[in-house]
Amino acid sequence: MIDPAGTATTSWGRVSRARSRVAEPAHLDDLARAVRAGDAPVLAHGMGRSYGDVCLNGGGHLLRTGRLDRIVAADWSTGVVRAEAGLTIGGLLSVCVPRGWFVPVTPGTKFVTLGGAVANDVHGKNHHGMGTFGCHVRALGLLRSDGETVEVGPEERPHLFAATVGGLGLTGVIAWVEIQLQPVRSSDFKAQTLRLQDLDGFFRAAEDSQDWPYTVAWVDCLAAGRRLGRGLFNRGRHAPDGPLLPHADRARLKVPRDAPSALLGPLTVRLFNAAYSRQPAGGEPARVPYGKFLYPLDGITDWNRLYGGRGFFQHQSVVPTAAAPRALQKLLELTSSEGQGSFLVVLKMFGPRPSPGILSFPREGATFALDLPNRGPDTLRLLHRMAEVVLAAGGRLYPAKDATMTAEQFRAGFPRWREVESYRDPALSSDFWRRVTGDPA
């Protein structure tokens, strides 16, 4: 039986953990009831694919949304779908792909819920053209603790909408989300890989790839000196014709338990090295299923355990375009000189399309992301120095990936945070919010 004091929940990085009373409503009417129950703060929890503590609520209630995965309405002639907030992007793809529709924006894993995608206003490899997930939300249903269910959207209660998109689950529990899908003629991608010799090469490749809808770079940050920024640049587009097949449901591999961290290097680095040495670069675009192009890590269940029992951190930041070359170079120098192990950096240019949320992370500029195994104080020090570089360049850190940013760093990166605080449902809170706003509740 469950311990009445609560169930321990960890987020994806497995550094942050918290005990909460967990409920798993199976129907929207149960959810409405649960949001109203209020002796301790409530927070919705999707698939827990956030790395840090935005999806945790120690000492409070956690509402897991996984059973709320029904499609409320779908118009397959226009691609408008309304679904309960616990439906995952993968679950939606398996229904919409055979009908010639694709999610407009997806993060690097399909195991995220629509509610989680809204609450973090997630971005994908197509940000430079399509903006964030929130740009494609037409409406959403928000359950508030006063018992009211409000419909919000870009036109309907626009301020509450702006506070909810990227609003970290604090303005109410999202019951359903209505999005506009994009039409596709094939489930395949045409993808191409270019080799990058250095950081300049990345900026040039990004510039040259403006008409490729999906782009991302993988950089080996052990490379130093003249080879700083050595890496691979991936770009892809939906194939103009071909089959319309959903992804296979079964993962190919599973990590059974915590890997001894000394034994296994971080998985992404291994993938990268394998790709780097074998991938033909610059040739004709190859045809690959969307899962392989968009979700290279999803084939391995629980890959986060490869970092061992102490877990890992992720740093993701964005800096404005003008400051990007200097800032990225500094970040790469920091991480390559640190020698804490083998890292892999993901780089991408965000485009100019404005993010709809007050706390949305993406803005025009360059984004930098890397995983860092938890080695205690050394890792925390490195994360802190990286954050300083980012903030000095006028950038900010991504709450969805963060476990360490200070209240000052948060407020500097998101100066309008008080607007979201003013829209926060008083019954809702999270470990993250208490940490960065200093709210003791």
Partner 1 sequence: MSSPSPASAAAAGKTVLVLGATSAIANAFARQRAAAGGRLVLVGRQQGRLDGIAADLTARGAAAVATLATDLADMDEAEPRFADMVARLGPPDEVLLAYGVLGEQAAAQDSADETRRLIDVNFTSAALWLQLAAKHLVADGRPRTLVVIGSVAGDRGRQSNYVYGAAKAGLDAFAEGLAHRLHRTNVRVVTVKPGFVDTPMTAHLDRSGPLWAKPEAIAGAIDRAVSKGQRIVYAPWFWRPVMTAVRFAPRPLFYKTKL
Ligand X SMILES: Cc1cc2nc3c(=O)[nH]c(=O)nc-3n(C[C@H](O)[C@H](O)[C@H](O)COP(=O)(O)OP(=O)(O)OC[C@H]3O[C@@H](n4cnc5c(N)ncnc54)[C@H](O)[C@@H]3O)c2cc1C
CB of 249 to partner 1, least distance (A): 6
CB 305 within 8 A of CB 255: yes
| Calpha distance 65→28 (Å, rounded) | 10
Site string for ligand X, 188-227 (x = CB under 6 A): ----------------------------------------
**Among 9, 16, 20, 109, interactor with ligand X by CB under 6 A:** 109
**Among 9, 20, 65, 182, interactor with ligand X by CB under 6 A:** 65
CB of 336 to ligand X, least distance (A): 23
Instruction: Indicate whether 49 belongs to the interface with ligand X (CB under 6 A).
Output: yes
Residues that bind partner 1 (CB under 8 A): 1-2, 23-24, 26-29, 67, 70-74, 81, 91, 94-95, 98, 245-246, 249
Instruction: Indicate whether 318 belongs to the interface with ligand X (CB under 6 A).
Output: no
CB of 207 to partner 1, least distance (A): 39
Closer to partner 1 by Cβ: residue 73 or 407: 73
**Bridge partners for 88 per DSSP:** 113
CB of 20 to ligand X, least distance (A): 11
Instruction: Indicate whether 105 belongs to the interface with ligand X (CB under 6 A).
Output: no
Cα 292 to Cα 110, 171, 234, 368, 441: the distances in Å are 11, 35, 12, 22, 43
Residue 29 interacts with, from ligand X, partner 1, none (CB under 5-8 Å by kind): partner 1
Residue 108 interacts with, from partner 1, ligand X, none (CB under 5-8 Å by kind): ligand X
CB of 97 to partner 1, least distance (A): 9
Residue 44 interacts with, from partner 1, ligand X, none (CB under 5-8 Å by kind): ligand X
**Among 174, 205, 324, 386, interactor with ligand X by CB under 6 A:** 174
CB 374 within 8 A of CB 347: no
Closer to ligand X by Cβ: residue 198 or 405: 405
Instruction: Indicate whether 420 belongs to the interface with ligand X (CB under 6 A).
Output: no
Residue 299 interacts with, from partner 1, ligand X, none (CB under 5-8 Å by kind): none
Instruction: Indicate whether 169 belongs to the interface with ligand X (CB under 6 A).
Output: yes
**Among 46, 60, 131, 213, interactor with ligand X by CB under 6 A:** 46
Q: Which residues bind ligand X (CB under 6 A)?
A: 12, 43-50, 54-55, 65, 85, 107-109, 112-113, 115-117, 119-120, 122-124, 168-169, 173-174, 297, 400, 430
